[in-house]
Amino acid sequence: MKKNLIFTFAMAVALMATSCNQASNTTDAAAEADVTAAAPAAEATIDNPNVATVEQTATPVANTNAPVMTFKETVYDFGTVKQGEVINHTFTFTNTGKEPLIIENASASCGCTVPEWTRTPIAPGKTGEIKVEFNSTGKFGQQAPMVTIRANTEPNITQVSLRGTVEANTIPTAGADGPVRRN
């Protein structure tokens, strides 16, 4: 048994030692040195559209015709509620831009919050809605669920949120000694 283990270990070491191709590493380095020596330094830079250069970041060009989401309120305070209550609120906004506003997506910061939004394009001067439902089941203390809205606006991300306090349910639950009897 020991001989098989030692033999397997020796084979693994021998395989790893011979699998390294030392010759190709030196020829790759020599070829790379020849290419860099032949090319001038000014021609060595490559335009990559995924990397911002100084010229690109100096003055961003804003689209003056882009749609603009103008909310009546961006934070709704629901006050204090009992655990398990469901809070519904509708955030209303107006497109104050010059082009139709299209909401691509609205996502919540947690699974307890569900947003629904106007799916059709909102013309300039018209209003749209983001309906938000917050389920306080399993929540306790101060809560601030947030909804992130992605649209064709400048900037393309807008956030609205709910906030308030969830009080614990006064009904006792089962403890270590079993269920609690209510009179």
Q: Judge contact between 147 and 160, C-beta under 8 A.
A: yes
What percent of the chain lies above the pLDDT cut of 90? 52
Closest CA to 68 of 93, 41, 95, 31: 95
Count of Cβ atoms closer than 10 Å to residue 80 Cβ: 9
pLDDT of residue 163: 95
Under 8 Å between Cβ of 51 and 85: no
Reported pTM: 0.60
The strand ranges marked E within 72-171 are 75-82, 86-95, 103-108, 113-117, 127-135, 141-143, 146-151, 157-167
pLDDT for res 171: 61
| Residues 125-181: tens digit of each pLDDT | 999 999 999 999 999 999 999 999 999 998 899 999 999 999 987 665 666 666 666
Is the per-residue pLDDT at 57 higher than 80?
A: no
pLDDT score of 87 more than 80? yes
Mean pLDDT across the chain: 79
Using an 8 Å Cβ cutoff, are 93 and 70 in contact? yes
Single-letter amino acid code for the residue at 16: M
Model confidence at 26: pLDDT above 80: no
Specify the range with the lowest mean pLDDT, choosing from 21-25, 82-86, 126-130. Answer: 21-25
Say what the pLDDT of residue 83 is: 92
Q: What is residue 7's predicted lDDT score, i.e. its pLDDT?
A: 73
* Cis? peptide before 121, omega within 30° of 0: no
Cα 16 from chain centre:
42
HSE, side-chain direction, 13 A CA sphere, residue 98: 4
Quote the pLDDT of residue 8: 80
Q: Which two tokens stand for residue 111?
A: 């699974």
Query: Coil, strand, or helix at residue 87?
Result: strand
Q: What span, in angstroms and rounded, lies between the C-alpha atoms of 90 and 117? A: 9
Instruction: Decide if pLDDT at 183 tops 90.
Output: no
Percentage of the residues of the chain whose pLDDT score is greater than 70: 63
Take residue 123 and report the two structure tokens written for it: 């013309």
Banded pLDDT at 96 (limits 50, 70, 90): very high
Give the tens place of pLDDT for each residue, 41-55: 445 566 666 555 555
Q: Domains of the chain (ranges plus CATH)?
A: 69-167 (2.60.40.10)
